[in-house]
Amino acid sequence: MNTVVALKCVLVFLIMLPVLVAAQQAPNLSSLERFDPSITMTSLSTFDIRDIRIGDNARVQASRLSELGGELQHVSGGNRSGDVEFIFKQPYKDSELVQNLELQFDKDIGFIHQIELTYRIASRYVDILPIYQKTVEQAAVKYGSPLSFDQVQALSGGQNDKPRLSAFLKNMQINQDVAEDVLAFFEDKQITPRTHFVETDNGRALLLSGFRQCYFWQKSDFAEILSLCSFQPSSGNMKGQGVTLSLVNFEVSNAIEHFRQNQSEVDINF
């Protein structure tokens, strides 16, 4: 009898083992509990992505996304985590439209300094181009018109019908407090020396760099930049890479750094 009971226990354990392992491995938000949800920044980005702004508290926003039905994918770095990712799914044709939302934040105090939202389609047989086109138009509705081709030409110092990014960077008006960050941001987009802007049918400036293409929105002389990027339809990899909306604000990021340094200071009195 004892042998039979023991065997039953072993069988139950073996059946439950995958469930137990999955439970142990399932990502959770416990590593974000080190952040005080009551601490807030006085300065935030003007733009937002899914009602999240640069400078928001990562713990608060991650909890909100979870309550909204976001499926937590990972929190990197354990107790020193620096980003958290959620996915949202919705039916689309004979497949699913998947939204990957990633929040990158300061590891010490938990303020968000970059937000990325990427749209992908689960099936390789469903075209993503309509999603790209709708994303561009919805972004224009929410954020206003992106950088226009006339603006790019004016900032590039000429009437070139394909102004180079390098010429644009030499003449653009940049918030001097964050000039290095702004230049580094755009130089990262310059995959080849021939990276240039083209004019779309509605007068918008579209940056072409290698196989990638991007629209840009900006505030405060490029201290805040919203970009919408994808691979070009002709590249054949547009579907695999998806469509990514990304938000940064260099002034707020600098304020986060100063806030962190002030928080870490300790008064020692004798």
pLDDT in tens, 8-45: 554 544 455 443 333 344 557 788 888 999 999 999 99
Do 155 and 78 have their domain in common?
no
DSSP single-letter state for residue 169: H
Do 203 and 136 have their domain in common?
yes
Indicate whether 7 pLDDT > 70: no
Of 101, 122, 143, which residue is a domain's last?
A: 122
Indicate whether 77 pLDDT > 70: no
Quickly list H helices, 121-202.
Answer: 129-143, 149-156, 165-171, 179-189
- This prediction has a pTM of 0.85
Lowest mean pLDDT among 110-119, 130-139, 146-155, 164-173: 164-173
Residue 236 lies in a domain: yes
Do 156 and 174 have their domain in common?
yes
Q: Where is 209: in which H helix or E strand?
A: strand 205-209
Residue 189 lies in a domain: yes
Q: How far apart are the first and last CA of the chain?
A: 73
Q: Count structural domains, the chain.
A: 2
Lowest mean pLDDT among 60-64, 112-116, 178-182, 238-242: 238-242
Contact 86, 118 (CB under 8 A): no
Do 118 and 1 have their domain in common?
yes
